[in-house]
Structure 1
Amino acid sequence: MKQAIVWGGATLLLLGLARVVSAQEGETGKADPARVQATAPTDGELRKAWKALKPEDQRRAAEWFSQEARHLPCFQNTLIAYMLGSLEKDRYDWPEPGPQETFDPALHCPAQPIPRVPQAIYSAEYQSTWKQLLG
């Protein structure tokens, strides 16, 4: 009986997420947002269904929703698609980042030059200071 309740909750959750995703299609005229809103489960029902899922099922549902959300016709996704489409080189072929620029006291405050020296994050001094700051 409990397994049936969990699967029923998972089904309700996935249906609710699918309706939320499909409601976004209203921007393109594919769905009627008023109809989707009227048939969508309530927030409380979705929360109850989510809590009834096992952690593995929650992870799978979150992955599914994440994959579906990448294809929504929203402004952010159109910007990402435009930028990736306009790249003149492989989007994964970027050079390694160089050293991060730091504050230059001679340039920014010549009257009070305090030298800034980047710390080696694996040094014992850095690690002990970090532990003191975090408590």
Structure 2
Amino acid sequence: MNPRPRRGVLAATFVAPAVLAADPAVAATADAPLIALCDTMSDVLRDLSATPADLDDTSPEWRPYDRIADAMCAARPETMEGIMAMARATMAHARDGGGADDDEPDGVVAVWAWAIVRHLLRVGGAT
């Protein structure tokens, strides 16, 4: 079973609104749901790999993956912990996802990797 990127993932613009929290404790709390969700990527991919290869990507088995993908596309993490969670999920997908387009410049791994770079620059004050 090869988890494949969804059209919504590739069409995402990574422009979800977020308020930059001045207090690090507030920012960490704001990133907590994203962190928890991203940290499930390896398990979700393992579960998907145990499903039939011809499973339609609208099947209920895809919902956990869709939740992670949608969250990562809409994310605007405010802490390094949030960005690192996105990086771990991206690495899990690159390592275990097996998608045919993972090496493509517009594949889901590349899209998420560039988002992580933008978040690092933003949170680090470079942009």
TM-score when normalising by structure 1: 0.33
- When Rg is computed on C-alpha atoms for both structures, the one with the higher figure is 1
Larger RCO of the pair (alpha carbons < 8 Å, separation 6+): 2
